[in-house]
Amino acid sequence: MTRAIVVLAAVALAGSCARAAPQAPQAPTTELVALAADPESGEVGHLTISNTAGQVELGERHASTRVATGRAPAQPVTLSEAEIEQLFGPALAVLPPPAVRFLLYFELGTDTLTPESKTQLLAVLAAVRGRVAPDVNVVGHTDTIGPTRRNATLGLERASLIREQLLKTGLDAALIEVASHGESDLLVPTADNIEEPRNRRVEVVVR
């Protein structure tokens, strides 16, 4: 997802008095538009800025243009890190932190976490507690051992187990989305009835 940051410059307005007086022409409203990298993936997308007077394309990190009322957008200028911080620091500071992703693994055919993942679960809980308004996505997965329908159920059991742990932290149930992909989304592709520990997992994304 591409993020564009827009800042509005001050608009010059004539003062008022008891008697109407001639007013000087108002200065045009000016906007500075800069293209920022996605805070999660680091990718930079593409942005088209246009009005009735013309358009420009922004496609590089920190590329910017100024747009004034009734004028075509200015030719792109790449801002430095210092300029970005000076101009947009306060706006960037209030953006939510990037999503954090975790993989929790399970014992064969069960909803029992491996010893290592029991320790990792503590990091998941800490990440949730560290968010002001967390949004959590929990998806259960299995390997290809056993019937497909049973694996769909097992994936949901695994995801539900993690959900219960999150609820114990006081997280509102409405903020947790739970699903199961069963054996349909293998981390390590295998044939049917193949035991693969890395596929027996729950993926947790905390935003």
Instruction: Please tell me the predicted confidence (pLDDT) of residue 37.
Output: 79
pTM tops 0.75, yes or no? no
Distance in Å from the first CA to the final CA of the chain: 15
- Widest CA span in the chain: 88
Per-residue pLDDT averaged across 174-202, rounded?
A: 97
Least confident of 5-9, 83-87, 115-119, 131-135: 5-9
Residue 59 binned pLDDT confidence (cut-offs 50, 70, 90): confident
Q: In the prediction, which pLDDT does 4 show? A: 44
The phi-psi region of residue 176 (left if phi > 0; otherwise alpha if psi is between -120 and 50; otherwise beta) is: beta
Q: Where in the chain is the domain with CATH 3.30.1330.60?
A: 100-206
Give the mean model confidence (pLDDT) for residues 24-43. 74
Tell which CATH architecture fits domain 100-206: 2-Layer Sandwich (3.30)
pLDDT tens column, 115-161 = 999 999 999 999 998 888 899 999 999 999 999 999 999 999 999 99
- Percent of the chain whose predicted confidence (pLDDT) is above 70: 85
Instruction: Please tell me the predicted confidence (pLDDT) of residue 11.
Output: 34
pLDDT of 8 above 50 = no
Residue 70 DSSP SS3: coil
Residue 33 — pLDDT band, cuts 50, 70, 90? confident
The pLDDT of residue 3 is above 60: no
Instruction: Look at residues 96, 72, 90 and name the one whose alpha carbon lies nearest to residue 1.
Output: 96
Tokens in use for 111? Answer: 């909803």
Check whether 92 has a pLDDT greater than 90.
no
